[in-house]
Amino acid sequence: DARVTQTPRHKVTEMGQEVTMRCQPILGHNTVFWYRQTMMQGLELLAYFRNRAPLDDSGMPKDRFSAEMPDATLATLKIQPSEPRDSAVYFCASGFSPGIMNTEAFFGQGTRLTVV
Amino acid sequence: AQTVTQSQPEMSVQEAETVTLSCTYDTSESNYYLFWYKQPPSRQMILVIRQEAYKQQNATENRFSVNFQKAAKSFSLKISDSQLGDTAMYFCAFPAHNDMRFGAGTRLTVKP
């Protein structure tokens, strides 16, 4: 049963600490999305990769957030330094898009981050 | 820029009845997909149904169907014979070249 795997599922950290969230996309998928979900802002797109290349990270605070895909089986989202306002659920999603337009995204179970 | 609007923050329906969730979007593209996702309390995002814009026929998946009006840029989700397990947040999603935009969501409660 192919699925997107995210680790950790939960993370509690102190303000100022570095946080790294990991995602294993579904094998064969060529697109990866990172989303942040909060009650106030809903689902916000943070970063988008196609064929491992970052195509859009305009939704990501550049001073503290970074997203990478070191290989096709791993995507990472890093926050350094973390702040209480970063507390949210972070989702990774992957999909296969043969053309320009994206098709459906399959979501991981999310990482619930709490920064105290 | 593409936008997705869900104008109903909350809705409720009696078990076994039918409910329709609304979604409108804005795009200059001619061919695209549209999706409805369900997020139950477990927070897992689950794809419910997809529609391809070039297809005239409305998509159907068991009790879930859509009413796709391309000219009006409207994409509503109809849930027939509502079940308690349908209680969840429902998101309309529109994928573009470099992103997939989600609406703000509709919280649906199915009452016994």
DSSP string, A48-96: EEETTEEEE-TTS-TTTEEEEEEETTEEEEEESS--GGG-EEEEEEEE-
Give the whole-angstrom CA distance, residue A27 versus residue B75.
31
By the 10 Å C-beta count (0-12 exposed, 13-18 middle, 19+ buried), A13 is classed as middle
Q: Do A104 and B35 touch (CB under 8 A)?
A: yes
What is the rounded average pLDDT of the residues A56-82? 93
Give the whole-angstrom CA distance, residue A103 versus residue A113.
28
Phi, psi of B54 (to 5 degrees): -80, -10
CB < 8 Å to B104, chain A: 42
Q: Do B99 and A110 touch (CB under 8 A)?
A: no
CB < 8 Å to A91, chain B: 45
- For residue B2, name the pLDDT band (cuts at 50, 70, 90): low
CB atoms within 10 A of CB A24: 17
Flag whether pLDDT at B108 surpasses 70: yes
CB < 8 Å to B7, chain A: none
Cα nearest neighbour of A34 on chain B: B99
User: What's the pLDDT score for residue B107?
Assistant: 97
Q: Are A37 and A110 in contact (CB under 8 A)?
A: yes
Give the whole-angstrom CA distance, residue A78 versus residue A73.
17
User: What's the pLDDT score for residue B1?
Assistant: 59
